[in-house]
Amino acid sequence: MFNFKVVSRSTATRARTGLLQTAHGEVKTPVFMPVGTRASVKSLTPEELLDCGAQIILGNTYHLYLRPGCEVIRSFNGLHGFMHWDGPILTDSGGFQIFSLAKLRKLSEEGALFQSHIDGSQHMLTPEKSVEVQLCLGSDIIMCLDECIKYPTEWDAANKALQLTTQWAKRCKAALGKEKNALFGIVQGGMFKDLRETSAHALMDIGFNGYAVGGLSVGEPKDIMLEIADFTLPILDDTKPKYIMGVGTPEDLVELVALGGDMFDCVIPTRNARNGQMFTKFGAINICNSRFKYDTEPIDSECTCYTCQNYSRAYLRHLYMAKELLAYRLNTIHNIHYYTRLMENVRTAISQDRFEAFKKDFIQNRRP
């Protein structure tokens, strides 16, 4: 079961709100998806995620295939039962992790031959295998296997990766067969607009439930990332959800919503929380800063998260400096809540057709 409809649009930008319907519930877009790579959003329980406003989470095929493996997860009737999360789940195909983590890898038309970063064991991940694993996980939204390339990459190499990604996308759709899970194709093509256009049209010719813009936030300058997204998003089928993979900061999300993005994921809110960086209406603060040693105020006086309602900056700084595990949990609660509340405010602004003013105020309020 999967459906998507556009609910409202901004008249001054390409921003829009929508409603995703899945077998495990509805998702209001634009949406940020917390990253639960190994069947866990680091340090948080599913109940805490719900309290933070999370609607959908992301898992990863590569990691869950290697550990604990499909046999274990299948015995729980999928990832939902295994990790006690009743809401929708999107799973990445594993392509990026093979690119970034595998000790040795060799790509061919058949698939990706790689050595596990855990124990060095050898595996072949084909498009069919990626879909098989994601079906075992019970993913509401399955991503096609793609070849992710580094930045910078020459045109010929980017074109070769695009062609391989397109062939793999065809095989992923065939492998899915008549299963009801949604399947998204991933646009590649590096930072070359002609290749991005070729990739987008090739995927739309195959036909998918949604489309993702991959290969961004891989080291390119921010202005190039936004330029490629600005070029690619309008090409994609406007009746389908548009997912920007692996992006990004709060500023990135607001900018990309304005360009027409519907779905986002990134490790920034959780990773930065573990490094002591907390997001607020006025920008990020580093809780280890000595100026917070006696600070009785919460991280953000306007925030309604559990952390801000109960704990001071001084206490959070103490926990972080003492390397207490509770620091990571409380910091992560705040950052995930910040991201989900930001997207809630974005949706409200779009529905009231005041997103352009919202974006302007948001940017003006940010400070170092």
Nearest CA to 95 out of 112, 110, 116, 108 is that of 112
Catalytic residue among 92, 140, 262, 300: 92
Number of other CB atoms surrounding residue 180 within 10 Å: 10
Catalytic residue among 140, 146, 252, 265: 265
51 carries an active-site annotation: no
Note whether 300 and 361 are within 8 A (CB): no
Strands (E), 152-273: 182-187, 210-213, 242-244, 263-265
Q: What is the CA radius of gyration of the chain?
A: 20
Q: Tell me the CA distances in angstroms from 141 to 174, 179, 232, 283, one per residue in order.
A: 16, 11, 21, 32
Helix residue spans in 306-354 (DSSP H): 306-310, 313-321, 325-351
92 carries an active-site annotation: yes
Establish how many alpha carbons lie within 13 A of residue 178's alpha carbon, considering only the half-sphere containing its beta carbon: 0
Establish how many alpha carbons lie within 13 A of residue 253's alpha carbon, considering only the half-sphere containing its beta carbon: 28
Sheet holding 112-115, edge to edge: 105-107, 112-115, 122-125
Q: What residues are labeled active site?
A: 92, 265
